[in-house]
Amino acid sequence: METIAVTRQGEVRGRIDDGIAAFLGIPYAAAPFGAHRFRAPAPAEPWQGVRDALEFGPTAPKRPYRPPLDRLIPDPDVPGDECLNLNVWTPLVGEGRLPVMVWIHGGSLRNGSSSLSLYEGRAFARDRVVLVSVNYRLGVEGFGVFPDAPDNRGLLDQLAALRWVRDNIAAFGGDPGNVTVFGESAGAISIGALLASPHAAGLFGRAVLQSGPPRAVSRTAGAKTTGLMAERLGVPATAEAFAAVDRERLLDVQAEVTGKTTPIGGGPGFDIVVDGETVPADPRAALEAGAAREVDLLLGANREEYRLWFVPTGVLERVGRLTLRLALARFRIKGRLARLYRANRPGAKPGEILGAIATDLLVRVPLNRIADSRPPGAGTFVYEFAWASPVGGLGACHALEIGFVFDTLRTPGQVALAGPGAPQNLADAMHRAWVAFATTGDPGWPAWDSSRPVMVFDEPGMGPVLAPRDDELRMWP
């Protein structure tokens, strides 16, 4: 069965299944190629008649994840130029406008799309939330730094999508005055920048940051990857020169330059940059100084983020005591802090100690500092995902929580990470908390205060815990 909704650009045809309508691949901006390549997003052209929104739209140009991560994280590629598109899932019954959640996917700003089955929004629509998922430009197209192109083009795409939601979501039963943005990894990092951007004011009232702290670098630092690509291509590091390069060649060189980079290991990659306009200042510093205090925040991390990169690649077993000492020196970790992590994890391997420290340094500590900086009553909630996957020693690794949040445990992408027997009751609880937060601003556990309550999602043992591992957090500068 099909249904039609009316947007400002024209009518779109969606498909109804079990009372849920799905509208897929709706353009929210013009195709970012030709005259629009390396430019800020332009408005989508209106169309005549009814446009089919029955299949996922094109994905942003990218290469798949490198082995062995390609076996764990699906990254479908849908060809076509109209990659600035979004999807909407909405219930067709009931009266009144419903809360809206807008999902911004992760992928280190160079991978990912909204077309993963893991991100299907049916469970949110079932529970009376309108779910929107967004594609945005990736890699050098979206985040390369050039002297002759606007910075942060992928972030500008996300802002354009949020303005589309403001202007059109009522046609799908959503309330433009009750919008929650949520994202994981690079999606959460993007949301951190949106929270600090004056251009996002009024576009959302709540935000969820999953495993990604606010982060941005200087334009000089952000331009390094563009420069490395320009050297390999043999062209100037300008948008004009890059636009003249065959797209497949550009993607090949991008993969060569960035392919071995990981969030923990480092290396050339893409970042949001402080551009003085869309991102006027470092987002983490801005949030700690009081930016976006009117926005309710739900933020947290997975207990063993590092295992996604350490286990499949064999790094966990290769890290010995000498490697650990060298890594701690590189991260400038003081000896007494390292000794505390060892003492709290008797019998842990050197790679596990390094991973625990890296997880806290890169994710948990920054998110906790933001929670600490917000005043009482600001609507701040902190969680930790702790359930350990039985698959190949992945444990409570990066990205594992997504299928629980979306209640999509049986999709291929989630089964690859969590196995076929992941606990449904944990997904029920986590999904219910995200729905409650988007609906009322209260996910169901105490707000952050001096007692530092953290909702630990685990099976068994789910519930709020006061100041978990606070002895370690207190020792970080």
Q: Which residues are catalytic?
A: 185, 305, 398
Tokens of 180: 């929650």
CA distance 111 to 10: 30
Are 142 and 136 in contact by the 8 Å Cβ rule? The answer is: yes
Phi/psi of residue 309, nearest 5 degrees: -100, -30
Are 45 and 39 in contact by the 8 Å Cβ rule? The answer is: no
Are 63 and 182 in contact by the 8 Å Cβ rule? The answer is: no
CA torsion, ordered 183, 467, 400, 325, to nearest 10 deg? 110
Residue 43 CB neighbours (<10 A): 14
3-state SS, residue 395:
strand
CA distance 295 to 200: 11
Tokens of 171: 């046609």
Tokens of 392: 């190949």
CA distance 266 to 253: 18
As a whole number of angstroms, the longest Cα–Cα distance in the chain is: 68
Tokens of 371: 């929670």
10: left (phi over 0), alpha (psi -120 to 50) or beta: left
H or E element at residue 385:
strand 380-385
C-alpha closest to that of 471 among 287, 336, 285:
336
CA distances 47 to 29, 37, 260, 459, Å, are 13, 21, 43, 50
H or E element at residue 352:
helix 350-359
β-bridge mates for residue 323, sequence order: none
Tokens of 394: 């992945």
Opening angle at CA 434, ends 433 and 439, nearest 5: 95
